[in-house]
Structure 1
Amino acid sequence: MRDWRPDSYGRFADVRLQPALDLLARVGEVPGGDIVDLGCGSGVMGAALAMQYPGRRLVGVDRSPKMLGKALETEGFSELLEADIAAWEPDTAPALVFSNAALQWLDGHEALLPRLAQCLVPGGVLAVQMPHQTHAPSHRGWGEAFAALFGDREIGKRSEVLDPAAYFDLLSPLGALHIWETEYYQNLPAAADGHPVRLFSESTYGRPYLEAAGDTEDQARLIEAYEAAMAKAYPLRADGTVLFPFRRLFFVLQRALS
């Protein structure tokens, strides 16, 4: 896919930040070692991570140059690395690998997540949050609208998340695991330029569909069809806002000491 658009993604920064803060609140103390923000994006968690673990080396890893440029402006990181997070490996074992709303873009969680856990120092923590919204109208709607307009035209990478039980079976043998889901009722503001759910989702889950649509005219057709579906699934309130339920999956794994 093309590079991320930080301004579009950041339009709902406060809504997107809350799950990351909730994840961090469940991590607690970690042993000595680096703190890694894997898929750090624009660096919105840099200050919170630095505050919770003062004096630690804080490393942000992301494959988007534009997002890393924004992260650099925060001045919260000791180091920023442009790298494919699917293949990233640390130079030294970190105390915490923190990943907020990033790993859902990657395949092969059955191999990836144990590898990330095993790269930690003994007693280190892997903390992950991912959207688990694939079956909701907001996400199904992109695929349904695209298929109705463009048939079986090839689509790029989409979010992939396993069921919670699969993550439990995969990770619980590696240490102490806590896994949970939270459904956030997000009050999306009224907007003159489109349905709030479309504006929220187009910079993330909708990206592959919009890119596959190609030219501006076909993108406009896709947006029109998607917005018609969202108007039914998530009706506007009297003030133009939308109360948008959004489910997220969390887990915190503390690697066994031996």
Structure 2
Amino acid sequence: MTRTSHEWDPDRYLSYADERGRPFVELLARVGAEAPPRVVDLGCGPGNLTRLLAQRWPQAHVLGLDTSPQMVEKARQVEGIDARVADIVAWAKTHGDPVDVLISNAALQWVPGHLELLPALVGRLAPGGWFAMQVPGNFDEPSHTIRRELAAEPAFAPHTQGVAVPSSHDPGVYLRALQEQGCTVDAWETTYLHVLPGERASDPDPVFTWVSGTGARPTLQALPEGVRERFEAEFKRRLRQAYPDQGYGVVLPFRRVFAVAHTPA
């Protein structure tokens, strides 16, 4: 069974906020809604990107939902959005007012079996509504494989078994799943080459800073004091080897998977 009792840190998550925000902007650009009354952001995080929804559609009621009370507390400070604590699966399966634009940016990868949830999400849309999703597709990269290998070592495995880990599918899988719901679908992938500050910067371990705010956070929080420090030290060492600074900063390749679905009017 997957354990999900970790807590998110909005400030840590907002490290490299510009880089994290680029996929959201690219996703939003493919949504053709003109004046939607109801807009929902599933997995709104600290609300820094949900703000863009309120700016694009100022007449809309923009609702941001997240399972993390810490994230929602931060999002409530953002003007123009209504932020609430809610579970994606429970919300998808609850009857409510139809939604005109439903966006989920870098959240569904944390929902086990989220592919089977897509019909329920599309079912929350009004006729002519839009569903837009983006998930990481980089789980075969060293930033993830190193964490998995290290977490499986005897010194750490007793603490990390069952810890929540993200997962996703290729664009074609989402394309077919959403087409089966009667949607017109646009699906694609983009690999960003994020150039992070290198060894001479104030943060000597920028890739660790990145992953410790997202994919690696549940694993790190599962480790007790003393054990966590040993894990982090070795994790940082291996990440520095996998992502060396060649004198121009540290390059972090990051594949993202997108899908935008439009329901019949």
Q: Any idea what the Cα deviations from partners look like across 1:137-170, whole Å, max 9, x if unmatched?
A: 1111101111224246513111021232221221
CA distance in 2, matches of 1:49, 1:199: 27
Are residues 113 and 30 of structure 1, via their aligned partners in 2, closer, same or farther at CA, if it must alter by over 3 Å?
A: farther
Residue 59 of structure 2: aligned partner: 55
**Aligned residues of 1:31 and 1:123 also touching (Cα < 8 A):** no
Q: CA deviation at 1:194?
A: 4.1
Q: Distance in 1 between matches of 2:194 and 2:117?
A: 30
Aligned to 1:224: 233
> Would you say 1:33 and 2:19 are equivalent positions?
no
Report the TM-score when normalising by structure 2. Answer: 0.90
Aligned equivalents of 1:50, 1:201: Cα separation in 2:
28
1:37-186 equivalences under 5 Å are 37-77=41-81, 79-88=82-91, 89=94, 91-148=96-153, 149-151=155-157, 153=159, 154-174=161-181, 175-186=183-194
Q: Distance in 2 between matches of 1:181 and 1:126?
A: 17
Match of 2:205 among 195, 201, 217: 195
CA distance in 1, matches of 2:89, 2:83: 16
Whether the 8 Å CA contact 1:33–1:93 is kept in 2: the answer is no
Query: Which of residues 205, 208, 231 in structure 1 aligns to 2:215?
Result: 205
For structure 1, which segment, 67-76 or 95-104, has the greater mean C-alpha deviation from structure 2 after superposition?
A: 67-76
- Distance between the aligned counterparts of 2:176 and 2:33, measured in 1? 25
Moved more, 227-236 or 179-188: 227-236
CA distance in 1, matches of 2:36, 2:203: 48
Q: Is the 8 A contact 1:30 1:124 kept in 2?
A: no
What is the Cα deviation at residue 32 of structure 1? 4.1
Contact 2:39 2:60 in 1 (8 A): yes
Structure 1 residue runs of 5 or longer lacking an equivalent are none
Check the 8 A contact 1:177/1:254 in 2, yes or no.
yes
Residue 56 (structure 1) shift: 0.9
TM-score by length of 1: 0.92
Q: For 1:27, what is the secondary structure of its paired residue?
A: coil
The alignment-based identity, stated in percent, is: 37
Counting matched residue pairs gives 254
Change (3 A) 1:193 1:217: farther
State the 1:64 CA deviation: 1.1
Amino acid at match of 2:84: L
Q: 1:11-36: per-residue Cα shift (whole Å, max 9, x none)?
A: 11111111111111111225643000
1:96–1:120 CA contact under 8 A, matched in 2: yes
